[in-house]
Amino acid sequence: MTNQNVVVPDTKSGINLPMVRLSGSSIFPATAQKPPTAPGTGGGGCISLSTKKKLLLENLEINGGGGGGARINSWIDSMRASSPTHMKSSSQSLSEDQQLPWQQQQQQITLPSAMDNFDQIMEASRGKQIVMFLDYDGTLSPIVDDPDRAFMSKKMRTTVRRLARCFPTAIVSGRCRDKVYKFVRLAELYYAGSHGMDIKGPEKGSKYTKPVICQPASEFLPMIDEVFKELVAKTKLTPGAKVENNKFCVSVHFRCVEEKKWSEVAEAVKSVLKKYPKLRLSQGRKVLEIRPTIKWDKGKALEFLLESLGFANCTDVFPVYIGDDRTDEDAFKVLKEREQGFGILVSKVPKETNASYSLQEPTQASLQNIFHNY
């Protein structure tokens, strides 16, 4: 793998990664097995949603041609499609994007629960070295109206610390790396901020490898700062809009914006980005993400970290990636293509995904229980 501004530790001599032992015996015996196909997924754990919704999401690209009111309307439809609102009461009808929880989707459930199938996940990891990758917002912390208050619980922090003592563990987030570190406050982890464009760690307390640094988009920093300032100015009159500088990308949050004002947010983003053809737009849960057009995402970050750990071409590594957003699909796809490990989607409703298993929400006990079982 060739990267810009990358420092990778020497792995020629190999890295001695300890196995975890409970009651005097390894929980991962020597027998290695190919991970089984997740049940009920048709081979890949994918849920196919409507072609209409897929086209709406594809139409979100800023620099791909088209324009005018029709283009903005397409963006608004896309913003609705990937930003379901809170559940209504049972007396009110549900739209396509206000779907019932997993267990009530009788015809769409094909993604099994990670908690219910924990024994199968453990069996698939037998004899292999687990490496954990965790999204932050919506996975380790709840989604909140104010992104600056997306705090993880003390219990979750204790759980992640315990996990990092057993396995190499990385936080992979769209947030600025420094901001995620302030939320998590665990020096023994790897941190991949800005959708993997800013990787560093661990600072101390890790027994797995020397620190690594990767910043493949450093040349875009002045441009990102310019776009951030312009978007702040453009959205200041839209109540509830919040622009966040995540160093190598800019996030425009519209979670607290009235839906009738979403067009103002879309227009502001369009008016700024049309001047920056080297930047592209993607979308998360009620957030528009502006980032460089380089071929780098959370999936590339996962591959880089596996390479840094000496696992690039290993058959006995078992990566587990847990995330809740569209940007996490890049990492799920990498695991699927590698035929190694599993992606676990945190979501209350079925989504089109490359993950193999699901969890309902970040605050439910099952996420902590899975970590504690490890």
Task: Evaluate the omega torsion of the peptide bond into residue 350 and state whether it is cis, within 30 degrees of 0.
Answer: no
**Under 8 Å CB-to-CB from 54, ≥6 apart: which residues?**
352
Find the DSSP H helices in the chain.
51-58, 68-81, 118-124, 154-166, 177-184, 221-235, 262-273, 298-308, 329-338, 365-373
Half-sphere exposure in the Cβ direction for 208 (13 Å, CA): 28
Which residue is catalytic, options 135, 137, 324, 330? 135
| Residue whose pair of structure tokens reads 């993950």 in the numeric block | 355
135 is an active site residue? yes
In contact, 295 and 196? CB cutoff 8 Å: no
Token digits for 350?
């079925």
Backbone angle region of 132, left / alpha / beta, with phi > 0 → left and psi within -120 to 50 → alpha: beta
Distance CA 51, CA 58 (A): 11
Distance CA 303, CA 307 (A): 6
- Cross-strand partners of 131: 319
Find the DSSP H helices in 245-355.
262-273, 298-308, 329-338
Name the maximum alpha-carbon separation found in the chain: 67
Catalytic residues: 135
